[in-house]
Structures are given as C-alpha cells and as structure tokens.
C-alpha cells in the first residue's frame, strides 16, 4: 500500500458520517453560501464557514458500547455537570423514592446524538413544553422544554433518561416511542444546538462518574447495577 493511500485512509477514518436530520440544514447553508458567492464573495465565505460548522454539529460517529449485563452507559457527549440524589420529576412516573441523577451538559461543539443508557423496552415517553433556561442550571430539569423516556430493563427495574432543551437548543428530536424495544447504546434522539441529558438510575444504585468528567455517549460507563463498589470520588488537578 502506498503512503498516499495510507494518508487518505487515515483522513477518511477520522471523518464522521452526518446524521440525516442535518441534511436539510446543510443544504440550506450551502444554498445560502452559493448565492452570496455569486453576489458578494466575502459573505459567501462566512456562509461556507457556517455550513462547515453545521456539518460538524450533526456528525454521528460510530461508538463501541460495553455490553456486560448491569452497565448503564452515558446517553450524551459532554461534561458531567451534576451527580446527585433527587426525587425524579412526577411526569416520569418513577415514584417518590430518591434516585441518583447524572446530568451531562452538551456544548454546541459536542456530538448531539443521544444513545440509550440500557437495553429494554420504553414504557413511558412524554414531551413537556417549557422554558429555554441555561441547561446547566439545576432548575432546568423541571422548567425547560424536555422529552422524557423511561426504559424498563429485564432485571434491574426502570432507568429514566431526559432530553432537556437549553438557551440555544430549540428542538428535541426522539426517534423512539412507548412500546419500542431499545438496545444499549442505540441512537434514540438528538437535541439541536446545545442542551443537557439527565439519566436516573434505579433506587439504591450509585454513579461511577464524577462532576467535571467528560462523557462519551454509548461508551462511558455511568453505573454498574451489579456492583457493590462504593461511590467514587474525584480529585481535580
């Protein structure tokens, strides 16, 4: 194999496919760029740059998901903004018992495809209209526009996952609905342009991640429902 072929293969290996939901936005951006290139090229270059960012935003990279029973996997790329014990929102229908909630904040530079934290069946799916506060705020879980899913696992009860809109995010997309089966790491939705995703563990289960840690959807292990390991602590350097 030639060096040129190896370089080309390496470049293509680093490129991520674009999710179909982004195609219409890319087409609009490209059309606007083309018009401005014909009318006023300096603006055309700006529009081309915006189009390139849209392509980057809607990237949908492949992920390697751990498949051992009992693992709860991150649903979103981004920084873990909180890990705390809370009573789930009443809309989730998960009862009044406290559960660990792991919140992941997505910036406009993170991959925005959301993946199922566990395998099972979706027993509840609910859209809740609301505000567009900063998704990093704790009250965003109760006041912002959001889409709630509850997944019933085969052996460990229910796990909740909530897509939350933010200051910039104005559109939540969910690919699955009540009654659908879902595999761990399977794509189930996306949030356009910055957001947050909350994962609610079964009662009595602890998180294996810490605030400030970077999470990768479909790969980072949030919890091990079969483990008796104590809750982890983190030291920021």
- Check 81, 103, 141, 195 and give the catalytic one: 195
Cα distance between residue 190 and residue 202, in whole Å:
24
Q: Which two tokens stand for residue 217?
A: 């959807």
- Is-contact 235 212, C-beta < 8 A? no
Catalytic annotation present for 195 = yes
Active-site residues, by number, are 195
């Amino acid at each position: 194999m030639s060096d040129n072929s190896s370089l080309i293969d390496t470049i293509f290996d680093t490129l991520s496919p674009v999710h179909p939901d982004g195609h219409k936005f890319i087409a609009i951006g490209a059309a606007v760029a083309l018009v401005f290139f014909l009318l006023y090229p300096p603006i055309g270059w700006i529009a081309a740059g915006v189009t390139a960012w849209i392509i980057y935003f809607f990237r949908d990279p492949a992920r390697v998901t751990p498949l051992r029973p009992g693992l709860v996997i991150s649903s979103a790329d981004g920084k873990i903004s909180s890990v705390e014990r809370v009573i789930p929102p009443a809309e989730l229908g998960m009862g009044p018992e406290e559960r660990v909630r792991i919140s992941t904040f997505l910036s406009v530079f993170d991959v925005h495809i959301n993946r199922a934290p566990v395998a099972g069946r979706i027993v509840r799916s609910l859209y809740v209209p609301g505000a567009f506060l900063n998704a990093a705020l704790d009250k965003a879980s109760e006041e912002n526009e959001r889409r709630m899913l509850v997944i019933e696992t085969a052996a460990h009860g229910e796990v909740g996952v909530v897509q939350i809109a933010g200051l910039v995010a104005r559109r939540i997309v969910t690919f699955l609905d009540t009654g659908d089966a879902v595999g761990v790491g399977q794509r189930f939705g996306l949030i356009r342009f910055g957001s947050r995703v909350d994962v609610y563990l079964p009662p009595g289960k602890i998180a294996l991640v810490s605030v400030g840690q970077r999470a990768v959807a479909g790969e980072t292990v949030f919890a091990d429902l079969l483990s008796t390991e104590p809750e982890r602590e983190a030291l920021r350097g």
